[in-house]
Structure 1
Amino acid sequence: MTFSVGILYSVQEFLKFVKETPIKTTEFVLVFQKFKATSPSLVLEVAESCNWINIDLDSNVSVTSKGNEIVCGKNMRDALRVQLKHLIEMLKPSWSYLIHRGRKESLQYFPPDVQQCFKEAELVDSYEDDVVKWWDIFASVSRGKQQDTQLEIGRRGEELSLEYEINRTGKQPLWQSIESNLAGFDILSCTSSTDTTPLRIEVKATTSTSSFTFYLTRNEWSVAEKSYQYCFHLWMLSDKPELYIIDKSVVAYHIPCNQGGGAWENVKITFDMETLNINKRND
C-alpha cells in the first residue's frame, strides 16, 4: 500500500463523510467521480484494507473503532499521525525497523512519499512532548518491545538536562539523541554563556536513590575520549531530581581494556553515593 499524503487526507474526509451520511459503496462510487482529487474506489480500498471502515453484506459502510481514532483527531495533522501509526503497525514496512536509530538516521532511508507524510504530520523537526513520545513508541516497537520503561526514564533525564543547560548558558542546546543514537552523546551544548566551545553531554538517569548504575557503550566512550569538552549528567529521579555532573576523567577509571583478540562493547558502571558526592562538579 502506498503512503500518500493526498490519499490519506482523502480518507480522513471520507471517514467524516460516512459518520455524517450513511451510504453504500455502490452509491459512493456512483455519486463521486472524484473524491478530494482521489478516485472513490481507491479511497474505499485503502479505508477497508486498513480496517478504518466496515462494509456489510448489503454494502453499507460504517466507521470502525480504528477509523474513529482518525475522525476524533483534533486536526488533519493529528489524524495523519494516527493513520501513520496504524499503517506502520499493520504493514511493518522494512524502513520502520530503522526508527530505533533516531529520527534523522532513519528518515534518510524512508521512501520520498513516506518522508512527505512525516513532514505533513510535523514529525520531522519538532521536539514537542507528543512528537518525542511518538518516535519513542515506534523505536521501542522496532526493537521488539511494546513498552520501554528504561527509555522513558532516560528521556526524562534528557529533558531535565536540556532545561538545566538552557538555564546555565542562556542558549538552546541540541537534543542529539532524538536525531541519532549513533552520535555517542545525548545533548550538544556549549561550555558557558560566554564560551561557545561545544560541550557534549551523555545523560544517564535512574530511579534508585542508594547508588547509580549505568551502561556505557564503546561508541559513547570513543566520542568522549576524542571530545575536548565532554561530561556525564547523572540524574537521580525522585520528587526532587538530583543532578550529578561527572567529568569523563572520573569515568575513565572504570573503562575496561581490550586484550588479545577481544574488544569490549558495553560496560556496566556503578557509583555509590560517596563516589558521586566526591566527584560531583558544581557547574
Structure 2
Amino acid sequence: MIALSPGLVQGCFELLAITIRQQLTFREIKNSFAYLGSLPTPKVVETAQALNWLRVSEQGYAQHTPRGTRLFAASGYEAQLRQALLDYIDIEYPSWVQNASFGRSRVLSFAGSQIAQIFVEAGLADGSGETVVAFWDALAARARGQRDDRLTQIGRLGERLTIDYEEQRTGRRPTWIAIDNNADGYDVLSVVGREDTTQLTIEVKASTQGYAGFAMLTRNEWEMAMESECHAFHFWNLRKPSTPELAVVSSETVLEHMPQDQGMGQWDCTRIPFSVFKELFNCPSKP
C-alpha cells in the first residue's frame, strides 16, 4: 500500500513536468535528481509508476500514461490533487474509502493525517460548492462500487433546493449536514423562522417521477424525526426541473404512513409515495 502524502504527490507532479520537457529514462531521472519535491526520487518514481501515471515507452523513456496525461492536464493545483486522490483510490482502494458512504467527516477522521492534509490542500475538507459536492459524491459512489449514481445526483439537487428555500424563508443560510455526515438522520439544519431561532432539522427527499415517485425512509431517519424537537420533511417533485414543486410535511403527517414493529420483527426501511402528499405540493418561488 502506497503511503500517499502531500509531499509525495507534489514530487509526482514535478516528475510529470520533467518528463514532458525532456526525454529521459527512469535510470537517468534517478541519477540526475536526488530529490523531487522533498522526497528521494526513487520513491517518487515508484509511486508514479504504481499509480499508473508513468510507464516506459517503446524507446525506453519515461512516458505519461493516459491517466498521467489527464492528471497533468488538470486545471490548477487543487484540481490536480483531486484527480490524484481519485486515481490513488481507484488503484489502491484503501480501507478508509468505505467511510465515504457516511459522509466527509468520517473519511477525514479515518484516512490518516497525511491523506487528510491532501484533502485540505485540495479544498475538499469543507465547503459545499458544486465541484466539492461532486467529488464527495464520486467518492461515495466508489465506496458503493458505482461510478454513476443518478439517485445521489437527484438527492443532492433536492438538498440544494431546500438550502435555497430555507435561506429565503428564514433569512439565514442553513447548514448542509449531509455533506459531512449522512448518518445523522437528517440532511439540513435550519431554524424555525426569522424570529424563532429554534433549530429545525430537515430530511430531504426528491424524485424526478412526479407524484408517481416515492421516498425511501430509513429507520434512522424516522427516529431522528421523532427525537427532534422541530423536524420537517421536504419532498421535492423534480419532474419539471424548471418548476420544482415542494411539499413541506410534518412528522405527524408522515406518521400516518409509517409501518410498525410487530412481535420480534422490526422494520428497517419503508417506501412512501409522493402521491399521498399531493395536496401539499406547490412551486416555492415565494416561501
Matched, 1:244 2:247: yes
**Structure 2 equivalent of residue 144 of structure 1:** 145
**2:256 is matched with which residue: 225, 231, 253?**
253
Aligned to 1:131: 132
* 1:168-183 matched pairs, under 5 angstroms: 168-183=169-184
Q: Secondary structure at the match of 2:233?
A: strand
Q: Which digits, 9 at most, give the CA deviation of each residue in 1:212-238, with x for residues without a partner?
A: 411111111111111111111111111
| Gapped regions of structure 2 (runs ≥ 5) | none
Deviation at 1:131, TM superposition (A): 1.0
Is residue 2:118 matched to residue 1:117?
yes
User: What CA distance in whole angstroms lies between the structure 2 residues aligned with 1:159 and 1:263?
Assistant: 33
Contact preservation (8 Å) 1:246, 1:279:
no
Q: Which runs of 4+ in 1 moved over 6 A?
A: 279-282
* Structure 1 segments unaligned to the other structure (5+ residues): none
Alignment correspondent of 2:279: 277
Please list, as runs of the form range in 1=range in 2, the aligned pairs for 1:182-197 lying within 5 A after superposition.
182-197=183-198
- Asked whether the equivalents of residues 211 and 274 of structure 2 are also in contact (C-alpha less than 8 Å), the reply is no
Distance 1:116 1:271 in 2: 42
Give the superposition deviation at 1:205. 0.5
Match of 1:77 in 2: 78
In the alignment, the residues of structure 1 paired with residue 107 and residue 36 of structure 2 have an alpha-carbon distance, to the nearest angstrom, of 33
Letter in 2 for 1:55: V
C-alpha displacement at 1:26, in angstroms? Answer: 2.1
TM-superposed deviation, 1:211 = 3.5
Match of 1:5? Answer: 6
For residue 229 of structure 1, what is the aligned residue in structure 2? 230
> Which amino acid in structure 1 is aligned with residue 37 of structure 2?
K
- Give the % identical residues: 32
Counterpart position of 2:108:
107
State the match for 2:168 in structure 1: 167
- Mapped contact 2:177–2:188 kept (Cα < 8 A): yes
Q: Name the SS of the counterpart of 1:210 in structure 2.
A: helix
CA deviation digits over 1:250-282, x for unaligned, max 9?
Answer: 100111111111111111111426x42158799
Distance in 2, Cα, partners of 1:98 & 1:191: 32
- Equivalent of residue 263 in structure 1, options 250, 261, 266: 266
Shift of 1:144: 2.3
Residues 1:215 and 2:216 aligned together? yes
Give the AA of the match of 2:269: N
Distance in 1 separating the partners of 2:66 and 2:243? 41
The Cα shift of 1:128 comes to 1.1
Match of 1:108, SS? helix
Q: In the alignment, is the contact (CA less than 8 A) between 1:26 and 1:59 conserved in 2?
A: no
TM-score, normalised by the number of residues in structure 1: 0.94
Q: Report Cα offsets for 1:70-95 as digits up to 9, x if no partner.
A: 11121122111111100000011111
Match for residue 66 of structure 2? 65
Query: Displacement of 1:148 after TM fit?
Result: 1.4
Structure-2 separation of matches of 1:56 and 1:272: 60
Question: 1:3 is paired with a residue of what secondary structure?
Answer: coil
Residue 136 of structure 1 aligns to which amino acid in structure 2?
Answer: D
Q: Contact 2:211/2:273 (CA < 8 Å) preserved in 1? A: no
Which whole-Å CA distance do the structure 1 matches of 2:210 and 2:62 have between them?
56
The TM-score normalised by the length of structure 2 is: 0.93
- What are the Cα deviations for residues 20-71 of structure 1, in whole angstroms up to 9, with x where unaligned? 2221222212221222222111121111111111113653111111111111
Instruction: Evaluate the alpha carbon distance shift between residue 16 and residue 156 of structure 1 in structure 2; reply closer, same or farther with a 3 A threshold.
Output: same
Amino acid of the residue matched to residue 249 of structure 1? Answer: E
Aligned residues: 282
One-letter code of the match for 1:102? G
